[in-house]
Amino acid sequence: MIKAESKRLGFLSCGISRAGFLEEEAPRLENWLNKNMHGQMFYMENHFDKRLNPTLLVDGAKSVISLLLNYYPSEFQNKESYKISKYAYGQDYHFVIKEKLKELLYFIRTEIGEVSGRAFVDSAPVLDKAWAAKSGLGWMGKNTNLITQKVGSFYFIAELIVDVELEYDAPTTDHCGSCTACIDECPTNAIVAPYVVDGSKCISYFTIELKENIPTEMKGKFDDWVFGCDVCQDVCPWNRFSKPHSEPLFQVNPELLSFTKKDWEEITEDVFKEVFKNSAVKRTKLEGLQRNVEFLKNK
């Protein structure tokens, strides 16, 4: 019933797992933090226990409902332009998905009765990929993205954590095999080992999270990415099966599609506000975007 409703709301798929402590993830997360692979993303150090145990986020939590929402576009940026991650083409996913999750929770309450729960979209300490993998929606690839055989990895992951027992799904198997395309093609060698990404070396980190100047040793390594980076997904063989999304709010602004490098280099506050009005690109602010453009221009 919940899965049918999630499909009606436009989600790609829905999987359910029992809420509890993520035993396998604990040492992995601890090791990652100890090696400072989070760089200046200091928020990753906070709420270590909550990150691993959803029952600390929602009183009496019994189930984690994981949901995928496709964002693969049907149109792409001009090849002569600086590039932004495909997830930022349309409206900010946080708001789009939050609304759908509210509807799904309302549906669950209508059908089941008194259910307490919370919706999560990248906005709290939840290891969303781990939960999605646990509930059989895909496997964690060597680039640490969740991958599915049917549609690859261009989708958002979100959760509803609820205090009701449901029917639970089983994890799927890993289908990366001997492929190392993501590791070989990463422009900054951020995938330091299979299934381990040093976040502090990732282009997404430099262009979005880092607030100070981008280190000069990264010159010439950004492959024209000005906000985020999709290389490890673009080269993944499973993404041959990506299909364009059908979410109207993720439609790309036509102006962005026609942007040239010159447009990026001369971007004004007005143009920034108009083109990225409801976009995730706003996160980096105009100053951050200008810093990134400047860094690429002087490679």
CA dihedral over 284, 159, 157, 30, signed as positive or negative: positive
> Could you give the CA distance from residue 286 to residue 276 in angstroms, rounded to a whole number?
10
Asked whether 118 and 13 are in contact (CB, 8 A), the reply is no
> Could you give the CA distance from residue 90 to residue 233 in angstroms, rounded to a whole number?
18
CA dihedral over 39, 187, 130, 195, signed as positive or negative: negative
> Could you give the CA distance from residue 295 to residue 289 in angstroms, rounded to a whole number?
10
**Radius of gyration for the alpha carbons in the chain, expressed in angstroms and rounded:** 19
Which is nearest to 93 in space by CA: 127, 129, 131, 121? 121
Angle (nearest 5°) at CA 93 between 88 and 94: 130
> Could you give the CA distance from residue 189 to residue 201 in angstroms, rounded to a whole number?
7
User: Measured in whole angstroms, how far is the alpha carbon of residue 115 from the centre of its chain?
Assistant: 28
Active site residues: 122
119 burial (CB, 10 Å; 0-12 / 13-18 / 19+) is buried
